[in-house]
Structure 1
């Protein structure tokens, strides 16, 4: 007989829970990049040789696709981050410190200390052109003194989001309202206003407060020294956790191993290589073991915390590492200067045409000279004709990697497909018509 208790959530409830989780994960997207950008003063302090003492749970839920009304100790973790307290360190990394237009108001004491310790982040390129034909110039970051000496205006920051300039010293510490505190956009009178502002008494007071706080932070003698020390320890703990997860991602990607399995629960059969390596590492590493125990405790207290074990964060780790690999390949390519391209296309299981793009170049090092073939990515194409592939190559692929077709490409490598190597309408013909004397067509019969 049924006791009237529902043991499984309905489809609508599962959908609502999934949407809430995806919304919260979206808020955390990109936080890893900003978090890793914070330099750690003592990375060696992250590791510990202490023997792990707490007992490991039998199962930790990494996904709630199969919810249960069980309250057993084994079911202690869900990836929902839609409620509960998030640590101060994680809140801090969600702020774009380079753009004052995105800072919360009020900032709060913790974020103020982080911004002051980091200092002003001044961008130096890609300033948009206004309708009047004016744009912000990097020379306005500099101030010319009476003796012709030039010094940097370390208080001046340009916001790319709203195309205005801020005085971040006054934005944080000023008690009076003025244009540079909330953003100034009149580029015609910018130079005069900057000179007038930097000589004002209110700005000079804010400069004094900025450097006093910065000096106290360096000497670690602020009023809330205990909180500051706790925050530094929390920051180093999260860096240690993320560092270990990145090492796991590097290992799996380097060995061409799958990340996920049939289950999204820790200490559960067939939960994938990533979670299995987390389980193994927890047996020997106190940092990961403490992280899993903190998740268990937060779940028991109904205060869920972010843990970066979910598949969305695995994908973000992979994306960050792939961008670094691409950057290294392109740096080698710029040194080599000349290169041929290698293209091949095939439909995947979902019948979407996937175009493989690679390059071939000569890499010269102090020890040896070698010919390298490097893969740069898969691209989905809809038009597989020679003309369509030519347009896709010149308008989307090459600009993405900041390479110039006419100046440095010296070869082509394809299979025997008519749309690739055809003499009349093939891709190689389209390129040879654009640069007949420069580009040699090399046909590779791979099929």
Structure 2
């Protein structure tokens, strides 16, 4: 072909009917002028630039557009992950330290304050906070809550995976009313893991459950349903641990009884016995000494005994104070003074102080970190023996009755028995004339028997299963054939 063409334009020029590209040029007379004009043409220069880039790419001197786009995407992903990682680290720091994420305003929140502090040493994060798109900063409260939820789900799944690998597990649960007056049931699980050939006991919190009611049947259903939602096999449950409230520890309709109907091997252990009470803060009553009346703590028996002792010693002062308040027009004070100025109340106060004092030593021992299950059972057995001996001790009963009579005599109150009626249904109606004998039958024996039953059922009921602690290497020297048989019979269904 007797003509010329421009190679770069032929390959990269997409236009039609152009000289030197799609149309050959053979006007030799005007070649020089047309070549000069084509050389400065914008389209020709673009084609030459593309040809040079193509040659460089083929020779490996430059990256292709695809590679550059891919590299840009990788850099963008890396940058976004770095930013999101910093945000997650700040949220985890606040949650681990129990610091509120939010503040009075979103800009002045604890989250933004810590994040801005991190940005001082992080140019990428600082640029994102200054110049990032408002709809893609990942700092809104919704994103914060989503990140917290995702982290919580991940932690929960890790805990549940460990628990499933352990095989068997125990649960601990307690209910309380939150600030919005909703009943919240907190649930923890306990299980064993093996770390470098050593067994480790794990106690993990796995969640709150909102309860429709605090009745035992509703709480039991809530616990079982939550465990099943977590993917735990309820039949692998081997122990349950609650407080002593009737809806939890009840013999027939309590949570422990209802769950044992489904899982007979799920032994019940009282909460105050299973936890390390030594980690609890010292009660306000103990800090205040004996200079004022103590709050009757519902959970700490040592504090309750101290409160009864203080009240007994200050009984006359309490009565005088209530009478003064009544004289000033306080109707409730009048009701209180009339309630306590009865021989029945005074005798009950003195008897409770005496009987509960026997539990102080056991409570203190159970709080020790070094206390184990077998030792706790033995100490509980000692207390039960003491209570049974006190129940039959005539001298002790005479002392209790005399102390109550002395306090009552200061206010001209005689030791007496309630009015007797053949058809009495609302209280004990023993046909006994002697006050000391009557109150021994109606009050003292009943109270002591109740304590013996409670200590036995809450602490000593599972002593056969507790013998498994003798299998620990440090306790093997105490293991004998009889105890081996007891352990085998207790765990036969699990072997």
- Structure in which a larger fraction of residues adopt strand: 1
TM-score by length of 1: 0.45
- Structure in which a larger fraction of residues adopt helix: 2
Higher relative contact order (CA 8 A, sep 6+): 1
Q: Which has the larger radius of gyration?
A: 2
